Each structure stands twice: as C-alpha cells, then as structure tokens.
Structure 1
Amino acid sequence: MAEENEELKEISGDERLTNFLELVTKQKAEQWDSRLFDILDAFEDFLTVRPEPPQEWSETYEKSGKKFDYHQVVLPQDFQDPYEDDLGNIRRLRNEFERTPSTMALEHELVSRNYFIFENGHAEPIPAPQPMLMLESKDRDDDEEEQEGDITWDCCISIFPDGSYVAYNLDHDDEETLGEDFKKEFDKHIDVLSRLQLVIPVEGRDYGILRSDA
C-alpha cells in the first residue's frame, strides 16, 4: 500500500489532466437527453405569465428600499444581445440550436443561473447536466502565506461528459468562456489547470445541480 501511495504522489498535475482528457474523449461517444427546449419553455412562461414572487423575497427587498425586477432570466454572456430583451434573447438562442445539438455546459448554466425559477415552483424541476470535473483557484485566508506556484486570482472551470465546458478568468482577464471542446482549454491553460483545486458540486449553488427529484 505504501508503494502505491508513493506512486500516486509521483503523478504530476499534467499527467492527471491528461488521463482525465482521455476519459472525456471516451464519454463524448455516449448519447444524452437534451432538455434545452424544455428549459427555454420554462423561461418564456416565467417571463410571459410573470408569477408573483415569494413573500419572503418581496419583504426582503422592500426593507432594502431598492427596486429589483424579479422577472428576469440570466443567460451566458455569449447569448446576451444588449439590444434584445430577455424574451428576444431566449428566442435567438432557441433559433440557434434548432438544428444544432446543444451542450451539457450550456444547459447546466441555464438551469443553475436561473435556479430560483425552479426552486420557487414556477416550473417543474429540470435536471442540470452534472460536471465530470470542477476546478477552481484556492480560497486563501488573509493571513495564509502564499506558496510558490499558487494561482493568485479567482478562476474556475467545469468540464462535462460531452467535452463541453464553462470557464472563468483562466487568462486573468475576467472573461467567461463557454465552449464545446475542453481540449482547446486544456492545451492552452494546462499550467493553470494543474494548480487548481477540486470542487464538489452542491445543489442550489451557482454551479450546482438541480436534480429531477429536488
């Protein structure tokens, strides 16, 4: 057992990511059931019907003295046209994927960014595709000493079984990237990725999973 542990210690971050890349390549061949249009239907119904927000939500923001619009949908940056309203952007997204397969990363982002719509009972729960791997920079305490080679800025990436991914700030430029092929990010950012820490997905957090039995 001691010998096996020593062997594991000798596996570099680059080697672990290479092994993971091979696993993703195998997973990409498997089919999955897209729920993109169910998700978009739920969004359109929410924006059109404009259901009443939960009492707790209303009371919280009334006390703040600020005005907030409850009836909005958050889309990934790549699908936000500033000249369109939310319904217009959703229709554009629907048209774009009418003949092109969706990705797990896109559907995960749509559900997780708008989790409140499902959590507050405005639509039936829809499962968000679960990442195979989530990595992010280490959250250090103010008094924790920085180690050589540490990533000192906030960044993260979630990688899905179909090879799609969503990444943030890997280039230290505050940019979000939503893509179909993780290998491009792997090749470009392997030095950063090999120094990030593993994250476990948690139901309901911004990157969380909404399960069908929630």
Structure 2
Amino acid sequence: MVAFGRFAARAAEPVRVGAFVGVLLVLLSACSNIKSSHSELLVKPPARIQVMSVVVDPNHAVPTKVSTVVPRYANTAAEQGSSSYTAQIKLQEIARLLVTGFRTRFPVLAVPYGVRIAPTADNVLHVRIESSETNCGAGKCTTTVTIEAKLLDAGGQTLWRSSIEFGQASSTVEINDVLFDAVAVQLLDGMKKDGVIGG
C-alpha cells in the first residue's frame, strides 16, 4: 500500500489559469484512452468532502489477459511468450504511473474541485488495478486496465465507488502523465457528479 498526503501543501497552492487550460487541452487528446467509466454513490456523506487521503495498492495480484495475433508461419510459442512478457512490462508501467500520479499530480488536479489531499484525513480514497488486458499483433501491443476506486469514511464504510477502464487506444499512445490526468479527472468528475465533492 502507498499512502499519499505529504504533497497537500502543494495542492493548496492556487492553480494558474494558463496551466489549468493546458491540462484541459491535453486531456482532450487523452479522452479516447478512457474505454469506460462507472461510478456509484452508496452512502451520502453528511456534507460534501473537502479533505481526503489517497491509498494506492500497486502490488495487488492482477488477473492479466493476453491475446496474440500470430502471423502465418511464425513461431507461435515465441510470439505468445513475447506478448506475455510485454503485458507484464506494460502493467508495471501503468502501476508506477498510478503510484506517482496520485502522489504528485492528483493533489493539484483536485484543487479546482475544492478538495485537499492530506495524510490524516478521515476519508480515504483507495485505488487498485482490478484487471488488465494486452492485445498484440505484428509486433505491436496495446494494454488496457480496469481500476477500482473506493471512498471510505473514518469507520471504513464505503461511501462511493468507481470503476474505470483505460489504456492505450493504439500502440503509439504513451503511458505517461497525460493518460494519468485523464483518469484522475474522470474520478474527480464522478465524485462531483454524485454529490460527494464540489460546490
């Protein structure tokens, strides 16, 4: 488990309008990499949440599906072995992206929603990868994952949950901050839509 909140002071700083507009522009280019998203309010909190901490579980055992289109006359075993290796590498890259992103970028992205990230907050957002799928063909692979996010209160009761499937729309899509920001905004928008955060 990796808990975050030490960057809360940075999150409290005003977000410059130009920087925020820049984030919106790059998110537009990443929107096609969000495959599906669902959120659900389970228990309405007494008031909209303004402070939360974040816990990411990067070591959760993730079921991985690998599909390989093998060219005719190719070594099937070698192709499948290469695809399985690529799938593990890409899954590790996405796990690192989530850990780093929630530590350094999420606190800043949460500011416009009226949310501050703090390590001692009563409400905790738990995030983990639930499954992954890698499709390979002609020496190129794309990976998508499904993450589950749960917002818990001080007593451990789940107030809200979300499931997001995201990843590479094509093999040219990089696993980078642009992809993380799209996922983070999807989570924050879901919490706002369901009345958990925001004005």
Query: TM-score, normalised on structure 1?
Result: 0.24
- The structure showing larger relative contact order (alpha-carbon pairs under 8 Å, at least 6 residues apart) is 2
Larger radius of gyration: 1
Determine which structure has the larger strand proportion and give its number.
Answer: 2
Query: TM-score, normalised on structure 2?
Result: 0.25
